Amino acid sequence: MPKKLKVLYEDEDVIVEMGPHDNEIPELIMDYFKQERKPLTWQKLREHFSATIGEDRLRRALRHLVNEGRLVQLNRNTYADPESLDPEILEELEAKWRLSGRRRNVDYFSRNASN
């Protein structure tokens, strides 16, 4: 269930919520990926979080999640939760990254190979 932000003010026209702390942003992003269950573009993520998270904070959190292996970057502007991807796509990505020498995301595959 997505984490709710603290409501600071509410009336019939507007709801003002407190913005998330930096350490809460990765979980908010992961909750959104679990809700959508598909790859998301940078534009879609920026649009969804624009009211609560600035672009720099969103970029840092996405980079952190990719480096941890909790998200994979499919191309320059598209991210996905590896748990929601088809296993064939994951195998294809793993082969591509190993051939290109990219280190990012390789830890995810080696960590989960024993499962």
Average per-residue pLDDT for the chain = 77
pLDDT at position 59, please? Answer: 92
pLDDT at position 115, please? Answer: 44
Residue 68 pLDDT > 80: yes
Q: What's the mean pLDDT in 35-62?
A: 90
Residue 85 pLDDT > 90: no
The residues near 100 (Cβ < 8 Å, ≥ 6 apart) are none
Residue 8 pLDDT > 50: yes
Beta bridge partners of 40: 79
- CATH 1.10.10.10 is the classification of domain 22-112: yes
pLDDT at position 33, please? Answer: 92
Q: What's the mean pLDDT in 72-81?
A: 86
pLDDT at position 84, please? Answer: 81
Dihedral sign computed on CA atoms, order 23, 24, 27, 33: negative
Measured CA to CA in angstroms, residue 47 lies from 35, 36, 105, 107 at distances of 16, 14, 25, 30
Give the number of other CB atoms < 10 A from CB of residue 62.
Answer: 19
